[in-house]
Amino acid sequence: MGMSRRAYAAHRGVSDTAVRKAIASGRISVEPDGTIDPVKADAQWDAQTDPAKQRGVHSREMGTQTAADTTAAKAKAGTKAVPSAAIDAVNETMRDHAAEGGEVPPEPGEGGQVSFLRARMANEVLKAQTARVRLQKMKGELVDRVKATNAVFDLARRERDAWQNWPPRVAANMAAELGIEAHKMEQVLEKYLRQQLSELAEVKIELR
């Protein structure tokens, strides 16, 4: 003996009217005694119903499963490995922040993953550093690195040229004062001047 129409409606999660219409349209069949075999009726109902239009318990179960699958897919996507370059950038930013006396979250554990808190703080630190640099430029406390480098090398080149032209200009006067040959005086000056300029060329200039 199967279920009554009302009992099957409750089992199916639909109204009595929906069950009556399903029987009348031939979607589901009834037993000789007028009752409904729930297993057979469920199979018939599902076979003749568009899944997108299902309602009741079965549709809710499908919705729950779909949501679970979607959540699992998102979780799987969220566990993709973080590029090493991104991890290095976050860690470098946090080390710089710590060197300035700031508090930072702990280093990443095994696997090199970066916590959300650590990544978010690194982003905030970078924004603060960028704002500070902009302010310092506006106040004239910072200069453009490329322009400063070019200016230093241009000055050094002009200084070198000025010194190289110095011996021919002063050799005759110095030789007259010392009572020696002017050409010899110029050669001596050029010799020691080249040594001096060579030593100065070894000086390394760092612009930070």
Q: What is the pLDDT of residues 147-165, one digit of tens each?
A: 878 888 888 889 888 888 8
The residue ranges of DSSP E strands in 35-185, in sequence order, are: none
Using CB atoms within 10 Å of the CB of residue 185, give its burial: 0 to 12 exposed, 13 to 18 middle, 19+ buried: buried
Enter the tokens of residue 186. Answer: 């110029």
Q: Say which residue the tokens 């050094």 belong to.
A: 156
Report in angstroms the alpha-carbon separations of 194 from 122, 157, 204. Answer: 51, 14, 18
Domain ranges of the chain: 5-77, 84-138, 145-201
Q: How many Å apart are CA 26 and CA 23, to the nearest integer? A: 5
User: Residue 42's pLDDT is what?
Assistant: 92
Closest CA to 12 of 25, 24, 26, 28: 28
Q: At what angle do helices 16-24 and 5-12 cross, to 10 degrees?
A: 110
Phi, psi values for residue 47, rounded to 5°? -65, -25
Q: What is the pLDDT of residues 106-151, one digit of tens each?
A: 555 544 455 667 677 777 777 777 777 677 666 666 667 788 788 8
Q: Is the pLDDT assigned to residue 102 strictly greater than 70? A: no
User: Residue 124's pLDDT is what?
Assistant: 77
Sequence-ordered list of residues with C-beta below 8 angstroms from that of 70, at least 6 positions apart, any chain:
none
Q: What is the pTM of this model?
A: 0.31
